[in-house]
Structure 1
Amino acid sequence: MVASDDGFPVAFGGEVAGGHLRLTDFVGTLTTSMNNLDVRAGRGVGGRVVASGKPIGVVDYTSDRSITHDYDGPVQAEGLSAVLAVPVRVGGTCRAVLYGAIRQRVPVGDRAKDKLVGASRRLAGELAVRDEVDRRVAMAETITATRGVDVSDTASLEELRSVHSELCAIAGSTQDPGLQHRMYAVAKRLADLRSGTTQPPVNAALSRRETDVLAQIALGCTNADTAARLSLAPETVKAYLRSAMRKLGAHTRHEAVVRARSSWLLP
C-alpha cells in the first residue's frame, strides 16, 4: 500500500483512456468528492502527468502556479495540500496515474516519493502482464473459433501448442483468480482441438498443475525453466512430473508428453 502514516495519508489513482484520467481507487479519503473525477490531459497535477509522462508534485495545491485549477473544488473538499502524482508507463505510454497526498502544507519526503514510484513500477509490470495475457487469449480464441483449422499442419500445430503452453504458464503464476480461470478455460479449448474424430486411447485425469508442467515440458523446457515459468520450486516441478508420468503410465518425460497428447490433455 502507498498510503501510510509515515508516507502519504491519502493515496488514489486511476487509468488513462483517450487522454483522460478517471479517478476510481482511493485509500485514506474522507469524502467522495473525487470519485470518478475525469481529469483531462494537461489539467491539474494528474493531467500534467498524463501529458508529460513525468512525476509532478506541489506543496500547496490550491495556490500553486505551475498547474491549472480546474479541480480545486474536489481537492479542497478532501482537504489536500501537498500532492505528488506519478505515471504508470507501459511501453512508453501513460496507462494510469498514482497520487500520494498530505493534508498539511509540507514538502513530500524522499521515502514517500520512493514508495509511490515503486508502486507505479509494480503496477506497470502487472499491466504489462495483463496486456500479454489479453494478446495470448485473443490469439487462442481466434484459433479455437476457426474450427476448420488444420492442426495436422506442423506450423499451425506448433503455434497452437506454443499459445497453449504460454497460457498455462501465465495462469499458473498469476494471483488473479478471475484471470486464471479465463486462461485455463481457453487453454482447455485449445487442448480440445483435434484433427481426427477418434476417442482418446488413455483415460488419465491430470491435475491442473500436472497439466501446466507437462505443457512446459512439451515445449522442451527443462525442470528449472518450468519452475521459473510457473513460479514453482524445481523439486515441486519434479514431483508434479513424476505424478503425471505415473498416471499416464509413462517411463520418460517425452513419453508422458506423447501420451498426454494422445489422451487429448495437451494439443
Structure 2
Amino acid sequence: MEPSLKTAVATVRRDTGLPVAFAGAVDRSGRLYPITATAGCLTSVLDGLVIRSGNGLGGRVLAGARIQTVTDYLHDDGISHQYDGPVSQERLRSIVGAPVVVDGSVRAVLYGALRTSAQLGARTLDAMQQSAQRLAFEIAVSEATVRRLRAVETAALMREARTGPTRPEWEEVRIAHAELRALAGSVGDEGLRRRIDDIAARLTATEPARERPALTAREIDVLALVAIGCTNAEIGARLDLGAETVKSYLRAAMRKLGAHRRTEAVTLARTAGLLP
C-alpha cells in the first residue's frame, strides 16, 4: 500500500492546498497505524509515529471512522494529547484527518494540516473526503486483484507441473483470469501489475507456436470476458469502454485470429496460448 499512500499524500496537498500532508496504513489488529508517508514536513518527527485508536486526532478518526478536524491542535479540549511533542515540533495547528474505509473497516488515515490556526472550509474537507475515497477504491481493487491472482497463480503452478485442474476448476480460473485483466488497469502498484502479467503469461503458456496472433492487451481483455460469457454491454461496464469500442476490439481480435464467431475466437485464442 505504500506507493498508494505516497500518491494520496501528494494528492491531498495538491487538491486541498494545505502545505502539510501525511498518512498511515492501519495494521491487521485495526487498532493502530504508523505514519509512513509525509509531504511538506520540516522535520522527520512524524515518520514512524504510531497512532493508537482513540488517541489524538488520528486515533479519533480511526475509532469513529469519520472525518475529524481541529482548529488548534495543541489547545483543543476534545482530543487527548499523547502526540503534542511531534505536532509541536512540526508547528502544526489546524489539522484534518480522514478515514480510508474499505468494506466497513478503516484501512488508512489521511491528514492535511496548516501551521496557523484557521477554520478549515467545506471545500477543503470535501477534497480530503475525495482523496480518501480514491485511495479506498484503489485498495479495494488491489485486494480483489490479489485474491484473484492467487487462484491464477495456483493454476499456473499446476500447469507447469503438468497436472491440470478439473473442468470446474478451469472455469473458475478463466473467470479469475478475466476479472484480473479487467482490474489490472485500475491498480496503481506497478509491481503488482508486473506480477499479474507474469503469472497470466505462465498460465496461458502452451507449446511454442510457429506464429502467435499479435493481439493487443485490450483485445485480449475483451476476449477473456467473452470467454466467461459476458455480453458486449457487460464487457463495456467492466472495462469502462463504450459499446462500439468493445465491438471494434472484438472485430479486430476475430480478424487477427481468423475467426468468424465469438466462440471460435475464444477457442483459437486458447489454442494460441492467449487465454487459459
Global fold match (TM > 0.5): yes
| Percent of pairs with identical residues | 45
Q: Does 1:71 align with 2:104?
A: no
Q: Does 1:135 align with 2:144?
A: no
Q: Does 1:190 align with 2:206?
A: no
- Aligned position for 1:9: 19
- Aligned position for 1:108: 120
Decide whether the 8 Å contact of 1:22 with 1:37 is kept in 2: yes
Q: Does 1:60 align with 2:66?
A: no
Q: Does 1:46 align with 2:25?
A: no
Point out where structure 2 has 5 or more consecutive residues left out of the alignment. 1-10
Distance 1:27 1:65, change over 3 A: same
Alignment partners' CA distance in 1, 2:187 and 2:63? 32
Question: What displacement does 1:240 show?
Answer: 2.4
Alignment partners' CA distance in 2, 1:83 and 1:166? 39
Q: Secondary structure at the match of 2:47?
A: coil
Point out where structure 1 has 5 or more consecutive residues left out of the alignment. none
- Alignment TM-score, normalising by the size of structure 1: 0.88
Q: Secondary structure at the match of 2:33?
A: strand
Alignment partners' CA distance in 2, 1:189 and 1:142? 11
Decide whether the 8 Å contact of 2:23 with 2:37 is kept in 1: yes
Alignment partners' CA distance in 1, 2:182 and 2:59? 37
Out of 170, 193, 202, which is 1:180 matched to? Answer: 193
Decide whether the 8 Å contact of 1:217 with 1:253 is kept in 2: yes
Question: What displacement does 1:148 show?
Answer: 5.7
How many residues align? The count is: 262
Question: What displacement does 1:6 show?
Answer: 6.4
Question: What displacement does 1:215 show?
Answer: 0.6
Q: Which amino acid aligns with 2:75?
A: S
Question: What displacement does 1:225 show?
Answer: 2.2
Decide whether the 8 Å contact of 1:165 with 1:216 is kept in 2: yes
Q: Does 1:171 align with 2:203?
A: no
Distance 1:175 1:21, change over 3 A: closer
Question: What displacement does 1:181 show?
Answer: 1.9
Question: What displacement does 1:81 show?
Answer: 0.7
Q: Which amino acid aligns with 1:181?
A: R
- Aligned position for 2:96: 84
- Aligned position for 1:238: 247
Decide whether the 8 Å contact of 1:218 with 1:257 is kept in 2: yes
Alignment partners' CA distance in 1, 2:212 and 2:38? 51
Q: Secondary structure at the match of 2:81?
A: coil
- Alignment TM-score, normalising by the size of structure 2: 0.85
Alignment partners' CA distance in 1, 2:44 and 2:194? 33
Distance 1:91 1:175, change over 3 A: closer
Greater CA drift, 142-151 or 9-18 = 142-151
Decide whether the 8 Å contact of 2:16 with 2:128 is kept in 1: no
Question: What displacement does 1:62 show?
Answer: 1.0
Alignment partners' CA distance in 2, 1:62 and 1:122? 30
Alignment partners' CA distance in 1, 2:98 and 2:271? 52
Alignment partners' CA distance in 2, 1:210 and 1:67? 54
